[in-house]
Amino acid sequence: MIFKIVSLFLAAYFIFAGAVQYNDPDPLHWMLLYFTSSLACILAALDKDKLPLLYAIIGMAGIEIAATIDGFFDWLRTGNENLITAKMTDEKPYIELGREFLGALISIIVITWLWFRKRPKNSK
């Protein structure tokens, strides 16, 4: 029961994360990542999740992490700006990239957790 509640909570988080991407400069791939992550959480809560979907999401999130990791490290080097409250500007592209990196990281962590639960029995 706790697994279902956590999965549905995570699904709601990913729906919110996808919904706020509509005004992003590059919304489509982020919306796809977040909404498919939400779908995976909903299917897991219903015990209807499938490994190919999880693999696809891990691949998408991995690509996004690779594309944004330099910006994340730039943010780490700049000091203590809060990624949530800092204003995104052309002079500080690392703010958006840091946020995107963390969003993709959250997705890959959640989906990997679902994969560990669903992976084939003989690989445990």
124 is a domain residue: no
Spatial distance between the Cα atoms of 46 and 41, rounded to a whole number of angstroms: 9
Percent pLDDT > 90 in the chain is 65
Spatial distance between the Cα atoms of 28 and 13, rounded to a whole number of angstroms: 18
Residue 17 near residue 103 (C-beta atoms within 8 A)? yes
Counting the structural domains of the chain, the total is 1
20 is a domain residue: yes
Please tell me the predicted confidence (pLDDT) of residue 58. Answer: 96
Q: What is the pLDDT of residues 36-68, one digit of tens each?
A: 999 999 999 999 988 999 999 999 999 999 999
Q: Give the CA distances from residue 81 to residues 22, 27, 103, in Å, rounded to whole numbers and listed in that order.
A: 24, 24, 17
* Cβ atoms within 10 Å of 6's Cβ, excluding its own: 15
Backbone φ and ψ of 92, nearest 5°: -130, 65
32 is a domain residue: yes
Q: Is 92 helix (H, G, I), strand (E, B) or coil?
A: strand
pLDDT of 16 strictly over 70: yes
Residue spans of beta strands (DSSP E) within 1-114:
none
Please tell me the predicted confidence (pLDDT) of residue 80. Answer: 75
Residue-range definition of the domain harbouring residue 111:
1-118
